[in-house]
Copies of this chain bind each other. A is one copy, B any other.
Amino acid sequence: MIPKTMQALVKTSAAPGMEMREMPVPSIGPADVLVAVETASVCGTDLHIYHWDEWAQARIKPPYIPGHEFCGTVAAVGELVTDVKVGDFVSAEMHVACGRCKQCRSGQAHVCQFVKILGVDADGAFADYVKIPASNVWKLGDEIPRDFGSLFDPFGNAVHTVLSGEIAGQTVAVTGCGPIGLFAIAVAKACGAADIFAIEPNETRRELARKMGAKTLLDPASGDVERQVFEATGGTGVDVLLEMSGHPAAIAQGFRMLRMGGRASLLGIPSRAVEMDLANGVIFKGATVHGINGRKMYETWFQAEALLRGGMDLSPVITHRLPLAEFDAAMKLLESGEASKILLTVKRQR
């Protein structure tokens, strides 16, 4: 039986912090699904919302429930829903596309002009229950380790980034080894990348990068990164840059290390405008640059699922597990740089 109320982590007001509150369980429409959340994981975005930074102030409308990385068990389905049934173990694409703009009508729903993100623009998954349009639900087969269920969102970001161009046999630099950078290393490795250079100032993260498959670990503070990359690539530079940090210095360095005619896929979000040497970094270089947003619907999901079914191990990235109620501690762990991906347990369902 679905209860009337639930525990949820709520962004209650236009100020720092979040609070556990009792909230009504969402009522679903005819094309929706209600999911009992088992695990939710914490994204850097959640930290912005928690701290109520400039971006959050411009985008977020409290009160609402954050959380956009999760998995759980279907508790109820609307009357028009045929593909999902009560008891299915699922995750979901939380970008809800409009379905009607030019992008949505041309196979680019991941850059819908009118997208609404659950957990950002509407109630999300830091709660006992979350409401999702049935079309956005992704069923998780038994072959996929249950722990990885909440990671499809950031793992999908990595898959989208890596596979936005050719990867087999390519040399790759990954700038920034947060969770998505780490996932990207594993994906690149599993998809036939040649040498992978992980560039990251935090030593713990570099060590994780090694575990995920990076061949060469480089600390940008060493001042020697570019020379090493050029030396290791016979003076050519890397075929592929996967920019995961959003840091201006890393972006600039990444483009310098990219070979003539190379591919740069940018996922890390700079917090302000960036000085770019467009002439040398992009134009003379004949580079191809891909801006990466979300996950392709649903090509990325098929690929992500296939890679996990193939045995890819994401567990080194999961550094902490806490009950949802201990989100304050989770936020502190994230800020400290000690944590990579933190799973918040909502309700173990079996």
Interface digits, A224-260 against B, CB 8 Å rule (1 contact, 0 not)? Answer: 0000000000111000000000100001000000011
- Say whether A144 faces chain B, with CB atoms less than 8 Å apart: no
How far apart are the CA atoms of A236 and B191 in the complex, in Å?
23
- Say whether A35 faces chain B, with CB atoms less than 8 Å apart: no
Question: Which of the residues B107, B108, B135, B166 comes within 8 Å of A260, measured between beta carbons?
Answer: B108
CB distance from A251 to the nearest CB of B (A): 7
Which of A70-78, A174-182, A277-285, A338-346 lies at the interface? A277-285
- Say whether A7 faces chain B, with CB atoms less than 8 Å apart: no
Question: Which of the residues B192, B273, B292 comes within 8 Å of A276, measured between beta carbons?
Answer: B273
Question: Which of the residues B234, B275, B288, B302 comes within 8 Å of A273, measured between beta carbons?
Answer: B275
- Say whether A15 faces chain B, with CB atoms less than 8 Å apart: no
Q: In the assembled complex, which residues on chain B have CB atoms less than 8 Å from the CB atom of A99?
A: 135
Question: Which of the residues B113, B168, B270, B278 comes within 8 Å of A279, measured between beta carbons?
Answer: B270
User: Taking CB as reference atom, which chain B residue is nearest A107?
Assistant: B107
Number of interface residues of A (CB under 8 A): 75
Chain B CB within 10 Å — which of A135, A236, A284 has the most? Answer: A284
Taking a contact as CB atoms under 8 Å apart, the answer to whether B310 and A192 are in contact is yes
Taking a contact as CB atoms under 8 Å apart, the answer to whether A194 and B309 are in contact is yes
- Say whether A125 faces chain B, with CB atoms less than 8 Å apart: no
Within 8 A of B (CB), among A86-131: 99-103, 105-108, 110-113
Which of A37-45, A202-210, A261-269, A319-327 lies at the interface? A261-269
Q: In the assembled complex, which residues on chain B have CB atoms less than 8 Å from the CB atom of A270?
A: 278-279
- Say whether A169 faces chain B, with CB atoms less than 8 Å apart: yes
User: Taking CB as reference atom, which chain B residue is nearest A304?
Assistant: B169
- Say whether A60 faces chain B, with CB atoms less than 8 Å apart: no
Give 6 new A-B contacts, CB below 8 A, not counting A191-B192, A270-B279: A107-B299, A159-B169, A169-B305, A169-B307, A194-B306, A246-B279
Interface residues of A (CB under 8 A from B): 83, 99-103, 105-108, 110-113, 135, 159, 163, 166-171, 187, 190-192, 194, 234-236, 246, 251, 259-261, 266-271, 273-279, 282-294, 296-299, 301-307, 309-310
Q: What are 25 A-B residue pairs whose CB atoms fall within 8 Å in the complex?
A: A101-B236, A102-B236, A105-B302, A106-B302, A111-B261, A112-B260, A113-B259, A159-B169, A163-B168, A168-B192, A169-B304, A169-B306, A190-B192, A192-B307, A192-B310, A266-B282, A266-B283, A269-B284, A271-B279, A278-B291, A282-B291, A284-B291, A287-B290, A288-B288, A288-B290
